[in-house]
A and B are shown apart, each in its own frame.
Chain A
Amino acid sequence: MNGIHDMGGMHGFGPVVPEPNEPPFHSAWEGRSLALNRAMGFAGVWNIDRSRAGIEELPPHVYLAMSYYERWAVRLQNLLVECGLVDQSEIGAGHALRPGKPNMRKLSPADVDASLIRGSYTRHATAPARFAIGDRVRTRNIHPQTHTRLPRYARGHVGVVESVRGCHVFPDSSAIDGRDNPQWLYAIVFEGRELWGPEGDPTLKVSIEAFEPYLEAP
């Protein structure tokens, strides 16, 4: 969706302000917000793509007013209610009012370390790759109202296939139906001026990781 999360190329947010010696968490609740999201992600009721969509669906004014881990907390609450794991009256009460769903996959302390290592999103190909290294391709000018990983600044532009990454879970459909629908993934590199026009930095190249359905012949 064309949400506020898709920020590449926007103006007006000011300078980057690094924080010297930044701690992993600025207060304890940030760590709990992250950990709760990870633990419920492990339950497998929703996948990473649905989870990302949960952040992107926050209205722009809400998104911008919240810190990172606040967004995670709100996203978690919304997904829990949407998936029927917790209901709104329990959120209001701050306590469980009914027993939980049975047979849920629960993260144990012993499984934590393994759960923190990223899983693999590679899947078997169901068709040969349409593009090869060195091919010129154009990103499609598409504006899905649902989750996509094709950023707006990179739509409708011509780039070159730099790498073929194999076949991966396709986020656009996975966020909706939870199925893998594997698609070829490519690194597509654009000249800065292709993206930003003749005033763009002539020394700049930008690459995105693009799934085959994002691409067409130029």
Chain B
Amino acid sequence: MSEHEHGHPHASELSETQLRVRALETILAEKGYVDPAALDRIVEAYETRIGPHIGARVVARAWVDAEFKRRLMENAADAIVAAGLAERVGDHLIAVENTELTHNMVVCTLCSCYPWDVLGLPPTWYKAAPYRSRAVIDPRGVLADFGVTLPNGTQIRVWDSTAETRFIVIPMQPAGTEDWSEAQLAALVTRDCMVGTGLPTPDAKVQR
């Protein structure tokens, strides 16, 4: 986006990319290849319906329901749909569980593969070079960027999403939350917890 010599961009000034995307949409709609109303619906789905709240409900259910967790670890997509936590989930979703011994982290070094059905769109950092380059060689350094420090002895398992399999991390339930409701627990589970770059932290402000 260029600025003029007088120091401020025109309100009507569009970047090259904005113009390119606008022109593509015009051309494709005029040629009858796309329906702009379908495009609106796609954008709306990711802005309002598909996001990490779905995954958070899955994690919370796994914490309170051992039988659900067993099925989740066996076939995540089937378990999530059978439990009514999502209407549909694509194939090849794999749940990986953090334990006292092992911490899991998910990356796509080649691009941006991510469990969209349960976490929504990947954040910018997940798609950017610093994370993709370092997650597989220096995961503790990456975790430090997120303010997360693991015990020295904890094994770190990094999952590089190089095929159509997708991974969701099931973090450990924080101590002291044993009597919390499922909804309260879900509120602790952030997107980063389910990628493996965060840990659920009980916040004193969460209403019991």
- Chain A positions near chain B (C-beta within 8 angstroms): 5-11, 13-19, 22, 24-27, 29, 31-36, 38-40, 43, 52, 55-56, 64, 67-70, 73-74, 76-77, 80, 85-86, 90-91, 94-96, 98-101, 104, 106-109, 111-114, 116-122, 149-151, 153-154, 165, 168-169, 171, 185, 187, 189, 195-196, 200-201, 203-211
Name 9 extra pairs, CB < 8 A, besides A26-B124, A39-B28.
Answer: A19-B123, A29-B18, A39-B42, A40-B34, A80-B28, A104-B32, A107-B34, A196-B137, A204-B155
13 contacts between A and B (CB under 8 A): A8-B160, A16-B145, A22-B124, A34-B121, A76-B24, A77-B24, A91-B27, A104-B33, A109-B41, A165-B165, A168-B163, A207-B157, A208-B162
Query: Cβ of B91 and Cβ of A185 under 8 Å apart?
Result: no
- A9 and B133 in contact (CB under 8 A), knowing A52-B111, A73-B17? yes
A39 to chain B, nearest CB (A): 5
A92 to B113, CA, bound (A): 32
Beta-carbon contacts of B34-62 to A below 8 Å, as 1s and 0s? 11011111110111001100000000000
**Neighbouring B residues of A40 by C-beta, 8 Å:** 28, 33-34
Number of A-B residue pairs with CB-CB distance less than 8 Å in the complex they form: 270
Contact residues in B for A169 (Cβ distance below 8 Å): 164
On chain B, the residues within 8 Å of A171 by CB distance are: 163
Residue of A6, A67, A107, A153 with highest tally of chain B CB at under 10 A: A107
User: Assuming A6-B109, A8-B160, is B31 touching A122 (CB within 8 A)?
Assistant: no
- Are B125 and A165 touching (Cβ within 8 A)? no
Most-contacted residue by chain B among A35, A98, A120, A208 (CB, 10 A): A35
Min Cβ gap A182→B in Å is 12
Question: Closest B-chain residue to A116, C-beta based?
Answer: B45
Give the contacting residue for B133; candidates A11, A52, A96, A117; CB below 8 A.
A11
What string of 1s and 0s marks CB contacts (under 8 Å) between B133-176 and chain A?
A: 11111111010011000001111111111111110000000000
